[in-house]
Amino acid sequence: MDYFLTEEQQMIREIAAKIATEKVRPVRAELDESEEFPWDIMKILAQSDLFGIYLPEEYGGSGGGVLENCLAIEEMGRACISVATTFAASGLGAYPILLYGSEEQKQKYLSPIASGEKLAAFGVTEANAGSDAGGIQSTAKRDGDHYVLNGTKQWITNAGEAEIYTVVAMTDRTKGARGASAFVVEKGDPGFSFGKKEKKMGLRASATRELLFNDCRIPADRLIGREGTGFIITMKTFDVSRPGIGALGVGLSQGALDISVEYARKRVQFGKPIIAFQAVQHMLADMATETEASRVLVYAAARYIDSGAKDISKISAISKLYPTDVAMRVTTNAVQVLGGYGYMRDYPVEKMMRDAKILQIYEGTNQIQRNIIGQELNKEYGRMKETFF
Amino acid sequence: MHIVVCIKQVPDAKNVRIDPETNTLVRQGVDSIVNPHDWYAVEAALLLRDEYGGKATVMTMGPPQAEEALRETLALGVDEAVLLSDRAFAGADTWATSLTLARAVEKLGPVDLVICGKQAIDGDTAQVGPGLAAHLDQPYTTYGRRLELVDGDQLRVERLTDFGYEVVQMALPAVVTVVREIGDPRMPGLKHKMRAKKLEIPTWGAADLDLNPEEVGLQGSFTQVVKVFSPPPRSDREMITGEVEEQAEKLFKLLRAGKVPGL
């Protein structure tokens, strides 16, 4: 397929694919086993200028957008979504600053993120607030020229490894979601520390920890946007980041399909390669079809967002929902195609299946995506005057 | 410092076939790649440049499409490139090749160091690096695994041997060939790749290098490939086992009896 990418987009894809094939694929099993944070690979991605592909040139990026980001994420995800998630999560931490930060904040924080010198992370989820961001209990109290943060963020990707954190805390609990505000917190700020590293089913090379705020004092100019805009900043951030999760799904599905087809062509049973059996052929055909459909969807959504369109919530949710459900199906079937080998940890597809599950959960569960899509449909059709009967 | 890296475009060994009739390489339909050993030369040059400053220039002699190989190395951050291409260069042996490369190094102005891969995977001669040094009348060291600038104008080379390494120090300007132990070549970067796409690469022919047609290519070559053939299978071998003294004893007897296989 030719997706009519620009020369620069093709280069991004080539570089990310080369790194994925030569530097990520050979170590993915080891990283999964050891749960080691992939710093070596992050350094390579930094040297190759990939951390800045979605950031404007004035902040050290190369001026691309969501599509450029998705292309790199997809290619890395084809080898390992733990590594690709680590990369993508830095972007998730950067987006609130890019979208709502002051010029000073952009200058200060986006440049080191674009160069890959520093990783970023985004912290919203808490013990009682995940899908329901309104349930956030962390607080930020104004104290002269400072804010004082208290509370605990949970399951934060890149926690402990990142230098720059964008977090959401309540500046006015009486206002519910409208009392939430977003802040930049730096590693090393007084009263800011990290909880234990989580043990996960998959995505094991990605660091997942708590952010602990214990009278954490930060200068008042760390507030992103205005007080009370934390919830909207979160929603708008997810609107631009979700196609990236879709891209992880596309890459993961493609990686599982690659192995499945190669295996089915070699594995001989009843005197022929199993790809000659219709039962297997049709499974592979469905896997390929759904993977390609996911890719088309992610690219189309990314291009629409990059066009500057405002009504992006629905397509963004769709571009996360479908490719990630597909990735779960495709990786499950990849294990099936490989049979006993697929279930063994000596082969890469069982890891892909374990990894796939997180895609249906993080950055808004797929049930939440369906909520968003449903609510948007209700709004869209409510505005229409015509009838379709 | 100014470092020049000489590279070669070679057929991709993964797809190479030998024509069983003629015993020659089938080059038709085979992709060209940068000689794998040359990537270490590129990496060695970039490591030195990054540490000591200056610039790295990559150079190759070959047909016009060899420019692609140059651009590939530019994507890693090499500063400049020169293509040596002329119909008259065709059919050059290692003498004519190294002479042509040497003239181009001279034309580039003061060059502190020329780095080559240890050998090319097609010809496998490992002669062009040393040949370059001879034509440039400069010292050279082969099989470098680590390069370090000392006292400003000396290169200290850790030179890989079968049993370890030697440390050799030579005065610059000089030529060095390097091995895989230099370190994995870095990955291409987006900014370098964008620049590589657009960078104007000068092409120099024999006239640009003040070389006469009889000094280059087939005409300037002292050697000629008369025949390419697959070596006959080795004759029977016998492994001598046992304690060292025992082995020596057995070998001595075989030698005395003139019964060493293959001799």
Residues on chain B bordering chain A, Cβ-to-Cβ distance under 8 angstroms: 186-191, 193-194, 197
* Residue B25 within any structural domain of the chain: yes
- Measure in Å the smallest separation between the Cα of A278 and chain B Cα atoms: 32
Assign B237 a pLDDT band (cuts: 50, 70, 90). confident
How many separate domains does chain B show?
Answer: 1
* Residue B252 within any structural domain of the chain: no
Quote the tokens at residue A5: 């990418």
* Residue B254 within any structural domain of the chain: no
Can you give the pTM of this predicted structure? 0.90
Is the pLDDT confidence value at B5 over 80?
yes
Nearest CA in chain B to A51: B190
* Residue B11 within any structural domain of the chain: yes
Q: Measure CB to CB from residue A19 to each of B187, B191, B193 and give the nearest one.
A: B187
C-alpha distance from residue B130 to each of B119, B155, B167 (Å) = 11, 16, 18
The answer to whether B187 contacts A12, with C-beta atoms less than 8 Å apart, is no
Is the pLDDT confidence value at A300 over 90?
yes
C-alpha distance from residue A299 to each of A69, A258, A304, A360 (Å) = 11, 20, 9, 19
Round to whole Å and give the CA distance between A329 and A297. 17
pLDDT at residue number B228: 74
* Residue B229 within any structural domain of the chain: no
pLDDT tens profile A248-278: 999 999 999 999 999 999 999 999 999 999 9
* Residue B225 within any structural domain of the chain: no
Round to whole Å and give the CA distance between A320 and A242. 5
Q: By residue range, what is the domain housing residue B32?
A: 2-220
Answer whether B74's CB lies under 8 Å from B188's CB: no
Round to whole Å and give the CA distance between A335 and A350. 6
ipTM, 2 dp: 0.89
pLDDT at residue number B239: 83
Contacts of A22 in chain B (CB under 8 A): 187
Assign B11 a pLDDT band (cuts: 50, 70, 90). confident
* Residue B78 within any structural domain of the chain: yes
Quote the tokens at residue A204: 């094991």
Round to whole Å and give the CA distance between A378 and A357. 29
Catalytic residue among A363, A376, A380, A386: A363
pLDDT at residue number B263: 59
Is the pLDDT confidence value at A152 over 90?
yes
Once rounded to an integer, what is the mean pLDDT over residues B59-88?
96
Q: Say which range, A124-128, A293-297, B35-39, B237-241, has the weakest mean pLDDT.
A: B237-241
Residues on chain A bordering chain B, Cβ-to-Cβ distance under 8 angstroms: 7-8, 11-12, 14-15, 18-19, 22-23, 44, 47-50, 53, 62
| Cis preceding linkage at B173, omega within 30 | yes
Contacts of A12 in chain B (CB under 8 A): 190
pLDDT at residue number B24: 64
A7 is catalytic: no
Q: Mean pLDDT of all residues in chain B?
A: 91
Round to whole Å and give the CA distance between B34 and B66. 9
Q: Is A324 helix (H, G, I), strand (E, B) or coil?
A: helix
pLDDT tens profile B171-210: 999 999 999 999 999 999 999 999 999 999 999 999 999 9
Please name the amino acid found at residue A342. G
CB neighbour list of residue A323: distance below 8 Å, 6 or more residues apart: A245, A246, A247, A248, A249, A250, A253, A294, A295, A297, A298, A359
* Residue B237 within any structural domain of the chain: no
Q: Domain containing B140 — which CATH number?
A: 3.40.50.620
- Measure in Å the smallest separation between the Cα of A12 and chain B Cα atoms: 7
Q: Mean pLDDT of all residues in chain A?
A: 97
